[in-house]
Amino acid sequence: MWADGLRAFNSGREDRTYQAIVASRGYQLLSQGVRPFQNIPIAAAQPTATPTTAAYFRIPTTANNDPRTAISSTYKAGRQWWDAIQDELAASYQRQKETVTWLPGYEPPPLPTLEQVIAGEAPNQLQPTGFIPITTRYNPATYYQQYPRVPGNYDGDYINFNLEGPQKAALKSVAAFARTRRIPLILVNLPLTDDYLDPVRTKYEAQFSVQMERLAKEKGFIFRDLVREWPDQDEYFQDPSHINRYGAFAVALRLAQDDTITWFPPQR
């Protein structure tokens, strides 16, 4: 599952994330052949026990499918599952501390508890699942008191707009890799607010959608365009162009209910 947006595929803008990765100390060490986890015994790197609680549980439907209501109603059902997973992650974390020499300043932070996450005490901390649960809700009435309203024709993320080039080549490479290994690839264009989707950005989004639909057919992946799925649901966003944890839940629920998505490759 690849959830992103048009801006990531604009080859005309500077890819600061990639440049930062290439310039990082970690990347330099990997390029030199340093593999921190290479010498860890396989047995030590694997879970020592399988959680007894089922790792998957059904999300109950609600009257208005409000993710916040669904999250609350599944708390008890997921409590044991979370604890079992956290226990195993903590054990794995301890094994890594004992077997890996971390570079100064790169030691992993302690794992937050579920209570801390729900209470918003660790809203910007990377979780063991790889996600950052942003609880901030976008409020146009106060947001633009702190930040300027930038129209699309002055937005640096759309500068030199170009859907050809290295970003398209990278997408084709990922799609080819997934196809040769029979890994289903679903690319999702994430939602944006009405405030953000002015005429300039809407025009670019239309071009992006057309190209993604064509590439999906050519390269054998699935494309779902959710950019206008919840344009006026401000509570699903942390700012005009990024979803928060509630929007992420809504996207996950929307995709899970899409029976046209093939989640597993066909059996040989």
Stated pTM of the model: 0.65
Question: Is the separation of the CB atoms in 157 and 7 below 8 Å?
Answer: yes
**Mean pLDDT of all residues in 233-255:** 92
Q: Which helix (H) or strand (E) holds 71?
A: helix 67-73
Strands (E), 185-264: 186-189, 222-225, 237-239, 242-243
47 pLDDT above the threshold of 60: no
- CA dihedral over 194, 199, 203, 204, signed as positive or negative: negative
Question: Is the separation of the CB atoms in 224 and 39 below 8 Å?
Answer: no
200 pLDDT above the threshold of 90: yes
130: left (phi over 0), alpha (psi -120 to 50) or beta: left
Q: What band does 40 get if pLDDT is binned at 50, 70 and 90?
A: low
Choice among 2-11, 124-133, 140-149 with the minimum mean pLDDT: 124-133
**Mean pLDDT of all residues in 21-26:** 88
256 pLDDT above the threshold of 50: yes
pLDDT digits (tens, 9 = 90+) for 202-225: 999 999 999 999 999 999 999 999
266 pLDDT above the threshold of 90: no
173: left (phi over 0), alpha (psi -120 to 50) or beta: alpha
**Separation between Cα atoms, residue 55 and residue 114, nearest integer Å:** 16
In sequence order, the β-bridge partners of residue 62 are none
HEC assignment per residue over 37-65: CCCCCHHHHCCCCCCCCCCCCCCCCCCCC
159: which 2 tokens?
């500068």
In sequence order, the β-bridge partners of residue 201 are none
Q: Which residue has the tokens 């690319």?
A: 187
